[in-house]
Structures are given as C-alpha cells and as structure tokens.
Structure 1
C-alpha cells in the first residue's frame, strides 16, 4: 500500500518549491541531510541526498527561513510523507552569505585577516608563481601581462581545478607546492569570473589557511572587480582581476628604465659630490702637512741653535775669541810646555781670526817663587 501511495504521489506531483523555517537540521555520517520545514500551521519532513547536500556552502541555522526545491514522496518503511530536496536556498542574503560570514569571523578571531600580517610585494621578482587552472583565461591573461611588462621574469604554474567538488583542496595543495619548491618570489592565486557557486572554492577554509601559511607574499585575483572572497581577506594583496594581479606582481619595463636612468643621474651626482669632498679633504690635508712640516723645521732649527750654542761654548775658537792664542808646531800639534819650544824653531800662533808665523828667540822656564 505504501508503495502504491508513493507511486501515485511521485507520478502526480512535479517538483515544487516549498517555503518554511528549518528545524532539526542534521547531516548524517553518510553525507545525507535530514530536517523539517514548518510554518505556523504544519510541517513536512525533508531529506537531501549526499550528491545534492555536498553543494550546500554551510548548514542552515535553526529557524532560518528557506525555500526548497524537491519532489514529494513517501518513505515506504515508515509510511511517512516527505520532500526529497535537490536545492535549498536561504531567504534574504542566503546560505552563501551565511557561510562566508561564519568563516570570516573565525579567521578574524585568529588574526589571519589582520592588516598587520600583510607583507610587501618584492619590487623586482625573478619568478612569479601562479595557482589557477591550466586551461583558463586567467593564466593566459597573467602570462600576457608579465611578458609585456617584464619579459625576463620566470613564471611557474602550479595547476589546480578552480571550481567544483574538491577544488578547494586542490588549490590549497597547489599553493603549498609552490611554497615547498621555494622557486617563486611572489604568488598569484585566482581565476576568472563566474557565479558565486563557481567562485566558492576561494571562500573555503583550506584555501584560506594555505594562503596564510605561504612563505612568499600572495596576491588574490578571483573573478571580476566586484567579486570578493575569503582568499582576498587573507592574501597580502587583493587584485580585482588576474591581469591586475600580474601588473601588481612585476614592474613595468618602461618605468624600470626611467628608474634606472634616475639612479644613473643620482649616482653621477653622488660621484661628483664625492670627488669634490675628496678634493677638499686633500687640500686640507696638504695645508695640514705644510703646517706640520713648518712646525717640524722650526722646532729642529731651534734645537740646532741651542746645540750650536752649546757646541760653540765648548769650541776652542770661543776661547780664542776671549784673547787667548794657541801655539802649533809645523805638524799642527799644540805646544803646551816650555820643553816643547826649541830656540830658533819655527811655530805658528793660532789666534781667533787666523795664525801668525813665529820663531823661538829664547825660552824662559816657569817662574818659581823663592
């Protein structure tokens, strides 16, 4: 009888939208979800099988107003009337917004979205890592921009699916591969535009944590300018598009040429200033050396004068200058005693300004007191 009732109901009623409040929502270990929808007058039991339940961004809260698309049936084992739900949407901002806000609050509590964590991008990266789909337009846009702006930059792709079931885990693994390889100076993570559901992988916790753990700065570039994701909050820089991310990652070669020209001019001015400074220091050193030399010469001149005075005081000439004379024999020996003089012998008498030729006429011995 239950089987007949089930066949009758399923064959009579097409898929219907049902509005109501969620109550007793449960996700079983099998992945199926069980709950009830109620209004002020009645309620209906609902089931959402695992393939459809996997698409839910988060669980609805108790009492949340939703609308469900499903088919009416009877659970034969218990003879219970139920709705097999294929789509579940929250009224107002929806389950997607609820899931976004829940994860955002969690990450903010941990400090992962704090501006203080944001790292500056390298000015001249040698290698840019890219995490995106290998077949997407985002990769082509990034390569085109980098080749135009900085063609010397290497690009390393760590490919991953960017939408669908399991995409978030693939993106997180691709981010960690780049970090482990240590080959990139900056990392672009993103994809082109799409619906909220298409972009949802970048709103999942595994991607957020992989970005936060990346050893190199991360640029998030998901969707179009109006799209905003959890990845944008955790990344070091949010770019509105993949092309804008590539522009932010590498310098423009034209501006780099201008920068190099400016550096050349600055270096030239610095060299001129340095040469002028060295010239002034050399001139000052020459003056100091001249003054030191003059002081040294003057000091030595004064010392020589003192020594000359002392030497002159000890010189026989100074004695002669006082009126004394020194007799010398033809060999130049000093005649000191009367015994050194022989009558008739010639000798010279050395006086202060020359010598006088003399001859001994006679010799008187030393006067002796009687």
Structure 2
C-alpha cells in the first residue's frame, strides 16, 4: 500500500468529530454525575470533569451559559447537565459541552443563596460591628425601588403620614429581571453621591426568582459599602434575602421600613406636649422655690439693716485709700532721691568734668614725679660721692704714693720671696714708673710665734 493511502491524524480526528456531530443522540445529552477538578477561569468559563462510579468525561461550560448558573459549581456536587458531546480536535479527546447545569436534590437558588451567604459572612459583611445607627430625624430619605407598584406607594404614604417633614426622593429602579442587580447598585451609588440621610431599598413580594436581584453579590456589596444607612425592605415578612443581612436594618415589609425610618408625628406631638407639661411644672416649682428664698433674704438681718451690710466695706475702702496715698508719697520720695542720685552720677561722669579731674590728677602726678626724681638724684649723687671716696682710699695708686710698690714676674704679682730665685728678672711698679731688675740675692724671714715678721 502506498503512503498516499494513509490518513493524517488531523484527517482522522476530523472524521471522528463529524461522526459525533452527526449523531442526534449526542447533540442533546441529559447526563447526571459528580463534579470534580472544577476550575472557574477568569474569563468566566468553567472547566470540570463529570464522573460516576466507573467512568468520567471532561467538560466545559462557556461563560455565556455559566453566567446563568445560580450557584457556584464545586467539586463533589452531583449535578444534572444538559449539553452536547463532540471531539476537541487539538487533542483528539471527546468532551461534554454543558449548556444548562442544575443541582441534584436541592434547588439551584437555595444553593446559590447559601453559598453567597456563607462567603459574605466570612468576609464580615454581616457583622453587627459595621452596622450604622439610623438617624433619629432624617431630613432626606432616598427610596430605591420600582417607580410604580404597591411598595413605593406604601413607603411614600407611610412616610408622609408619620413624618411629613422628611423629603422623599424616589430613585426609579429595576427590581426584577437580569438587569435588576445593576440597576439597584446604580441607584444606591447615586443616593450616596447626593448625600441623603437614609436609604430604603426594596420591593413588594414575589417568588424567589422575582426577589433574586436582592440576592446578588454586587447588590450586597453596594449596601454594605454605602456611607448612608440602609434599610432593606424586600418582599413579605417570611422572605429573607442577602440584602437583609447586609443592610443596617431589615424591615419585614416596605410599610414597616417606612415606619422604622421615621418617628410618628403623633408620638412626637404627644412627647412634646408631655415635655412642655413637665417643663411647666419644673418652672413653677423652681419659681416657688426661688420666691421663698427671696422672701427669706428680704427678712434677713443684712437686708433689714443694709447700712451695716456695706459699712465694713466703706471702712476697708477708706483704709485702702489712705494706704494708697502713703504708698504714692513714698514712691514719689523714692523717685526724687533716685533722680538726685542719678543726676549727680550723670554730672560727675560727664566728659568735661572727668577731663578736668584727670587733668588735675596729671599735674599732681607730674609734680610728684619731679619731687621724687630730685630726691632720688640727690640720694644717688651722695651714694656716688661716698663710693668714689672709698674707691680712692682703697686704690693701689694711693698706697703706692706712700712709698709702696708692686713686683711682677712674667706678668704675675710677686707676693712672696719664695716665688723668685736668684737671677730672675722682675718688674717693680712705683707710683711714677717701672723698674726692671735682676734678683742678686734673696732673704726669707721666718714668722714669729705671734705671727709678726
């Protein structure tokens, strides 16, 4: 067999896919099984495996169909699926393409309700700590509901009857159908932008499908994220929605919501009348009490003799006046003394006076210096004369005038005959000249016991 007679993988896969597509039983399949490996893609597509005790088939549900599923598919759920089976050419594997998915056993709406309730509760959206207190006397109330119908009439009528001071603003809103959730969110956000005091969001009764917009996650988050307190008023007393849990207050009916939103006019009037009566009684009792106190004061001793009441103050004022005068006189005297002292100091420290004083001091110091120099000069002159006389008396020349002489040998003074020998040349200095001689003979005298020669 030639190679041209062999099929390609792609051709074989296409052939098998045409067989699947041509089978009428595979075009509309109703199948029951357990979900596993459920993955919800960011695009909205749901990938899963449907299995039973002995077989499994991969499946996919595109976003256009997945958006209509009321609950969140999870692994382990038993579901009823309607769709078709064909071959995915890329991997040659057949798989189930789901178009409708329902839970087996419990209703889709109930399951979706419980799943969303559990999810938001874990996030803390329903906690009491985040719920806000309703204003006691709201000035503006936003009503988020359908513009026609019994619900809006009941709310407006009740508000006008109970508290006509409040201004009511209707936000026409879709409350049923595929676009209802988005419409409710827009109305709540609009009411927040306009800054009202309170929001009532709701509608009249109906089936769970009719009320389902108030079970949508965007609506719950819009109510929880509202800066303005929200009262949820959906359906009848037995109806419960996710919006009821997210709201700051749940009302069983739209009429009850209006009653909870505002105080009753008649109750306020009765309270005001009661308060006025109480104030009258309190004022009358206070007036009587003060009147009695005034009467007692009028009869009291000080008011009966008012001169004695203010006499001590007059005396104290007189004494204070005398003390003030004395203090002023003393202050004036001290100021005069300070002025005189400052004037003297200023005059004594003036440049002219100070220069004259310094000039006098300079003359005095000059005269004193001259006197001291004269005395010192005289003393030094006398000391010099005495020293000269003493020096002259002690001078060797004076001694030599009396017949004495000095002998030198080789420049040294001869003080003893033992210093020279016979034949030495010596110089003899007299007062009027010098003699050079030669020693011919020498005689050394012995000292006596008394020390004399």
Same fold (TM over 0.5): yes
Residue matched to 1:25: 38
Higher mean C-alpha displacement, 31-40 vs 110-119 = 110-119
TM-superposed deviation, 1:100:
3.7
SS at match of 2:305: helix
Residue matched to 1:59: 72
Q: How far, CA to CA, are the matches of 1:4 and 1:62 in structure 2?
A: 31
SS at match of 1:190: strand
TM-superposed deviation, 1:54:
0.7
Any idea what the Cα deviations from partners look like across 1:271-310, whole Å, max 9, x if unmatched? 222322332332243244x434437449969x9xxxxxxx
Name which of 112, 115, 138 aligns with 1:125. 138
Residue matched to 1:189: 201
Match runs of 1:85-234 below 5 Å: 85-182=98-195, 184-234=196-246
1:3 has 2:14 as partner = no
Any idea what the Cα deviations from partners look like across 1:20-50, whole Å, max 9, x if unmatched? 1112223345433232321112233433333
TM-superposed deviation, 1:236:
1.5
- TM-score by length of structure 2 reads 0.57
Match runs of 1:172-321 below 5 Å: 172-182=185-195, 184-288=196-300, 290-294=301-305, 296-297=307-308
Query: Structure 1's 15 and 198: CA in aligned 2 closer, same or farther, altered over 3 A?
Result: farther
Residue matched to 1:42: 55
Higher mean C-alpha displacement, 291-300 vs 127-136 = 291-300
Q: Is the 8 A contact 1:145 1:243 kept in 2?
A: yes
SS at match of 1:156: strand
Residue matched to 2:320: none
TM-superposed deviation, 1:219:
0.5
Q: How far, CA to CA, are the matches of 1:4 and 1:299 in structure 2?
A: 125
Query: Structure 1's 85 and 216: CA in aligned 2 closer, same or farther, altered over 3 A?
Result: same
TM-superposed deviation, 1:98:
4.6
Query: Structure 1's 49 and 276: CA in aligned 2 closer, same or farther, altered over 3 A?
Result: same
TM-superposed deviation, 1:65:
1.6
Query: Structure 1's 50 and 106: CA in aligned 2 closer, same or farther, altered over 3 A?
Result: closer
Q: How far, CA to CA, are the matches of 1:283 and 1:130 in structure 2?
A: 61
Any idea what the Cα deviations from partners look like across 1:238-296, whole Å, max 9, x if unmatched? 011212111211223333332233223223223222322332332243244x4344374
Q: How far, CA to CA, are the matches of 2:99 and 2:58 in structure 1?
A: 14
Q: Is the 8 A contact 2:29 2:85 kept in 1?
A: no
Q: How far, CA to CA, are the matches of 1:298 and 1:291 in structure 2?
A: 5
Any idea what the Cα deviations from partners look like across 1:208-249, whole Å, max 9, x if unmatched? 332223233211112222222222122111011212111211
Q: Is the 8 A contact 2:201 2:230 kept in 1?
A: yes
Q: Please, what is the CA RMSD of the aligned residues?
A: 3.3
Q: How far, CA to CA, are the matches of 2:209 and 2:94 in structure 1?
A: 31
TM-superposed deviation, 1:166:
4.8
Q: Is the 8 A contact 1:190 1:222 kept in 2?
A: yes
Give the gaps of 5 or more residues in structure 2: 1-14, 315-453
Q: How far, CA to CA, are the matches of 1:71 and 1:110 in structure 2?
A: 35
SS at match of 2:23: helix
Which structure has the higher relative contact order (CA within 8 Å, separation 6+)? 1
Residue matched to 2:451: none
Q: Is the 8 A contact 2:72 2:115 kept in 1?
A: no
SS at match of 1:282: helix
- Quick check: which one's helix share is greater? 2
Q: How far, CA to CA, are the matches of 2:260 and 2:293 in structure 1?
A: 46
Determine which structure has more spread, i.e. the larger CA radius of gyration.
2
Q: How far, CA to CA, are the matches of 1:298 and 1:280 in structure 2?
A: 22
